[in-house]
Amino acid sequence: MWPPLLCRGKLVDKTEFQFEIKDISLGGLGLFTERDMSDVMSPGDILENVEMDLDEYGFFCVDMQLVGQADSKVVDSKGEVKVMKRLNFKFPALSASQERDLQQVIYELERLQIQKRNRFED
């Protein structure tokens, strides 16, 4: 329901990645990918200087620590169910200004989601 939000950076093996952000909070975020990342990353691994592209809300550069990976069923634009890998990360350390700015973005994204849901229900 959000605009497309992306996260990009380098994995622990230094290969570049770009994943779609599925949810975000002050504690961390969830990313979706078709690729099984268990051969590249383990829980506890930290990705440094990751860029979160939050569309019109700007860019944030953060460190992220992998909490875990799980399968998640997703309905694509054709109505077909496919299995994606959901990567769950936490933010090990946000500065006070990053936390404040990110909280404002999260609030706006939640407000946008509620507006869209209300229009859909009407």
How much is the pLDDT for 55? 85
How much is the pLDDT for 90? 97
Nearest CA to 29 out of 48, 14, 7, 47 is that of 7
Three-state secondary-structure class, residue 64: strand
Nearest CA to 36 out of 14, 53, 11, 54 is that of 11
Q: By the 8 A CB rule, do 31 and 21 touch? A: yes
Reported pTM: 0.84
Kindly list the structural domains of the chain, giving each domain's residue range(s) and its CATH number in brackets, ordered by start: 6-121 (2.40.10.220)
Q: Which residues of the chain fall short of a pLDDT of 50?
A: 1
Q: By the 8 A CB rule, do 51 and 59 touch? A: yes
d(CA 69, CA 90): 12
